[in-house]
Amino acid sequence: MNTCKKFCVILLIAIPATSFAQKVTVSKDEQANENKIDGYTIELTGTVEEVMTSYGKYLKTFGKIKSSGNQQQVLEAKINSNVCTAPLYGTTLSKGEKTSVRLGLKPSEWTTPALAEQVFTDLEKVLYDFGIKFYRDKVQVDIDESVRAQQAAEKQTIRLQNENKTLNSKLDFNQKEKIRLEKLVAENKLEYETLLSSIAKNKKDQDSVLVATDQIKKMVEIHKERQRKVN
């Protein structure tokens, strides 16, 4: 996969399907049974597993947690400046693509109704804040992934820039070497032609010398013959 396609894929992965702003809406509800729990509910886009994990960590910031299935009790919770004298009850429930999150209390467990009423009122904001935190944490994951993709792209850019410098340096050397070799080829061609010319002249000179040598030999024989005739 080339560099461009690689980072296009990273970009597509980094952009979540739920890229539009999420809205958190808190609804007041009551569970009408013998264990009546008054509370508030929100619905979040996410799996029940991820919401439950996030919700458990969030509730731990208010007090001690006692979990049982999809319900979590918050013991000795401190909400704003109020210390709770009875447990708070948090539940998570899968609703298709969404997860319902609830937080409430049992008024019957509180010895001070005014405190229970004040804490109950504060639970609306506590649950709302969780919804905001949950979505922001999910977006932060996308941000972190995008930042990592950005850093990888920046590193790749630096690597390609360095590679470009190296390639240009090699190209410059190659061009100089090409000029040097072309000059050598031209000099070689000239030397080649000079050598051919010299060889041709040498051959012609050899032929001339051979002719002269034959003539000289004949002259020597003539002189020897003259010498023999002297008496």
**Beta-bridge partners for 6:** none
pLDDT at 224: 87
**3-state secondary structure (DSSP) of residue 23:** coil
13-144 is classed CATH 3.30.530: yes
- What separation in angstroms does the CA of 16 have from each of 13, 131, 135, 148? 7, 18, 12, 15
pLDDT along the chain (231 residues), means of 10: 55 51 86 76 94 96 92 94 94 92 94 94 96 95 94 95 96 95 93 92 90 89 86 81
d(CA 3, CA 12): 14
| pLDDT tens-digit series, residues 140-191 | 999 999 999 999 999 999 999 999 999 999 999 999 999 999 999 999 999 9
pTM of the predicted model as reported, rounded to 2 decimal places? 0.68
Q: Which residues contact 149 (CB under 8 A, 6 or more apart)?
A: 7, 10, 11, 13, 14
Give the tokens for residue 1.
């996969």
Q: What is the Cα–Cα distance from 169 to 181, expressed in whole angstroms?
A: 18
Among 62, 51, 57, residue whose Cα is nearest residue 134: 51
Domains in the chain: boundaries: 13-144
Determine what percent of the chain is predicted with pLDDT higher than 90. Answer: 71
Helices first, then strands: H and E counts in the chain? 3, 8
Distance CA 213, CA 204 (A): 14
Contact predicate 40/123, CB 8 Å = yes
Report the C-alpha gap between 20 and 139 in whole angstroms.
Answer: 10
Q: In the numeric block, which tokens belong to residue 33?
A: 């049974």
